[in-house]
Structure 1
């Protein structure tokens, strides 16, 4: 797909992602859906209202009424779409920096569109083939004021409230000024937790930290955990579809470790877990011990969701899926990434033991990541040529599902283009931190030399 990446369309707002482009995306999606009504929501980004207005205009122009939900986490929009039976448009750039925004499309079942449906939307978009209606058939707007409340209520009903409340937990929460600031504090308080917060004021400038919930952005949360003597720290990205954790000592928990712990509690023999080609050995080991299969896809929620639906259509049980970035899915609940639901399921584990003990079995491997930026298509080509050259010379098993993954048995390295940013991402994992660093450094050096013409 030329336009839709691994998680929708994203770009710098009012430059690449301007109102005309967003209007056209909405027209194309509305033309494919041919729905009487479409839900529309946004995260807290300063350009969200502007681009939401553009999307509303595009949807109305093809005859769809627009249900405007306002600022809602992406899983909140998805819950609304499922409950009401309408497709949806989410204006969000998720974890990207404040100047970015984006568009994510959701079906009437509350699930992100499959690759096949996205390709149909993209064909309409590129051909400017929009099903515009007559002036007296254009859609109207309706404000929906209870979308956040209904989302919170259905989430609370889906987890073990009594188990969590009995654990008497203190939660340190960092919603990162995003949409989760309007829902997650309430969710955890109603689960019976004492909640202390940082960066909990909705603010599209993201003054406290960048939206991506990675260790280098979350120092304040670690300090808050220690200062409040909290049992766990929880961080979201801009649209709150991801959750990242700190243990009771204020130590950052790798997302792959949290995924492994949650998967271990879900998987039984005969099940299938779904993850991406950058999967950690932690999840591989968990699936092996459970007697479960592990199905790998290209990176990105769109690819993972499409694989889950295909497996379920074949009658396979898929109780857990996701990536090590905090985007975890529990398909029996809903085939969506939901940061608050993921966090609540993690709290269930803390009823039995502290977070540090929950994660301890999955601390054997160290995953490193770095990004190599490019500015032109020619630089991108040179970077990928360098990656291919390293792959050809390596004494490793090569997987080209998404980029180049080299598996050395005791370690692996992956280089692949981002679906949302002009970077090539490099990942490496090993039980030996020096080995991980060496694999990343060798790939990084080869790429930078090729890009800069050295």
Structure 2
């Protein structure tokens, strides 16, 4: 069966973020087929041979993850490869293992989406799959033997801890063991797969670390749509403990959360600016939806705006490197931070990791606050004051999202609905969805999610109060349009 046809039949979508769907629809046979299609493509493109090469496999802490990891491992084994069970570790950790060992790396994760869903993220030997790869994988024709899918599942090989160890060492080797001495850091653990890794890294660098909010059940933390309870928890923990910062991540620990000393969570796109400043980046690639303080701060020589999604950011970073840029980074609104260059930190080499990472940006921000002798809240105050907010409508089919965007093909249609609230339209950008800049410099950006049945709304304004008002008004309008 062709992967494109399997998508339609199974209900499990496939894109640059990999396969995503309801856990009940991600049957062993579907996951086996997607994995086989991915590996077949790598064979056709010359990246892999059937000679016992390793395929790294890891997963998050969702209830369905272990079963899916077993199906992925079975597909790799049946094709003549050696599945390496890297255990439950962060997405960037298994991606790093793949890059260091020149082998494919497969992460079973649904990232931030609810526990009843899951996904499989595929990394080539050279890094994330890009748009071209996705198109080629969709055309793969795969065969599966129905008789092996009995419902009993498949055994995973013995767990190897090398990937986890190397990810921790990446930071403990590059940064001095006392560089965070005197800093009080809370680690909001919830059900993030990297919760123990965060504690190991930050305590290993000298911070006084306090674990917080451990959960045995899966919590779908979305770093772009932070839950009200997480705002309240961070403020309470900060007041009770006097933290310099609180850190956390989403489910697969490739998107960070970092708070200031008051327990106020930073927006991911603002965190990206501060991290890039600390590293001394020359070139910054980021999606069109991210905060325009990036341009207004004047710190960066080369800024590249992309469509939303890490594959587009990766492609832009590759172009920047080819054009001769040396300090090349990228980040997303969710806070995930990518590097396509080696950086020197404390005289040590930090190798490129061109996939979303949660550790480097939060570590960089803490070190920037130490370097500039300012609390994190002051680092934020020093930025050009542009504020962003985002929210989403869940259970919103992609077809319905498309209808809303079609409604606003003409500027006059946009002004009919929004001008009473936001004023006349200055410009329209359709790089990804619909991004409207009004003459007031306020921004409204609407787009369907690329990996979940959600419609996302982003706003930007000159004050936090105003952007929250815009967000509320925008969401009310979109909910009315949905009907």
Residue 70 of structure 1, CA deviation: 1.0
User: SS at 1:329's partner residue?
Assistant: strand
| 2:437 equivalent in structure 1 | 407
| Contact map agreement 2:16 2:130 (CA 8 A) in 1 | no
1:210–1:217 CA contact under 8 A, matched in 2: no
Aligned length: 431
- d(CA) in 1 for partners of 2:229, 2:88: 23
Contact 1:259 1:283 in 2 (8 A): no
Q: For 2:407 and 2:389, locate their aligned partners in 1 and report how far apart those are by CA, in whole Å.
A: 20
Once the two structures are TM-superposed, the CA of residue 254 in structure 1 deviates from its matched residue by 2.4
Give 1:375 deviation, angstroms: 4.9
Cα distance 1:107–1:172, how it changes in 2: closer, same or farther (>3 A)? same
1:7 equivalenced with 2:17 (yes/no): yes
Residue 344 (1) aligns with residue 363 (2): yes
CA RMSD after TM alignment: 2.6
Correspondence for 1:211 among 202, 221, 246:
221
Q: For residue 257 of structure 1, report the CA deviation from its aligned partner.
A: 2.4
| Aligned mate of 1:176, from 170, 177, 190 | 190
Equivalents in 2 of 1:194, 1:291: separation in Å? Answer: 33
Instruction: Tell me what 2:345 maps to.
Output: none
Q: Deviation of residue 299 (structure 1)?
A: 0.7
Any residues of structure 2 matched to 1:229-240 within 5 Å, and which? 229-240=242-253
State the TM-score, normalizing by the size of structure 1.
0.87
User: Aligned-pair distance for 1:392?
Assistant: 4.9
Q: Does 1:423 align with 2:431?
A: no
Q: Is the 8 A contact 2:278 2:367 kept in 1?
A: no
Q: Aligned residue for 2:317?
A: 308
Equivalent residues of 2:443, 2:461 under 8 A apart: yes
- The residue aligned with 1:96 is 113
Q: Does 1:225 align with 2:235?
A: no
**What residue number does 1:135 align with?**
none
User: Please, which runs of 5 or more residues in structure 2 have no aligned partner?
Assistant: 8-12, 145-155, 342-351, 416-424
Contact 1:8/1:102 (<8 A) preserved = yes
User: Is the aligned partner of 1:396 residue 2:417?
Assistant: no
Answer yes or no: is 1:285 the counterpart of 2:302. no
Partner of 2:420 in structure 1?
none
- After TM superposition, the structure 1 = structure 2 runs for residues 11-410 of structure 1, keeping only pairs within 5 Å, are 11-15=21-25, 17-34=26-43, 35=48, 36-109=53-126, 111-124=127-140, 127-128=141-142, 141=157, 143-165=159-181, 168-200=182-214, 203=216, 205-206=217-218, 209-213=219-223, 214=226, 216-218=228-230, 219-267=232-280, 271-286=282-297, 289-332=298-341, 333-351=352-370, 352-362=373-383, 364-373=385-394, 375-376=396-397, 379-388=400-409, 392-394=413-415, 395-408=425-438, 410=441
TM-superposed deviation, 1:432 = 4.0
Residues 244/49 of structure 1: CA separation in 2 closer, same or farther (3 Å cut): same
The CA deviation at 1:390 is: 6.0
Alpha-carbon displacement from aligned partner over 1:105-137 (angstroms, at most 9, x marks no partner): 11223x21222222222221xx3378xxxxxxx
Counterpart Cα distance in 1 of 2:157 and 2:399: 45
SS of 2:110's partner is coil
Can you give the 5+ residue segments of structure 1 that lack an aligned partner in the other structure? 131-139
What SS does the aligned partner of 1:93 have? coil
CA-CA distance at 1:386 after TM superposition: 3.0
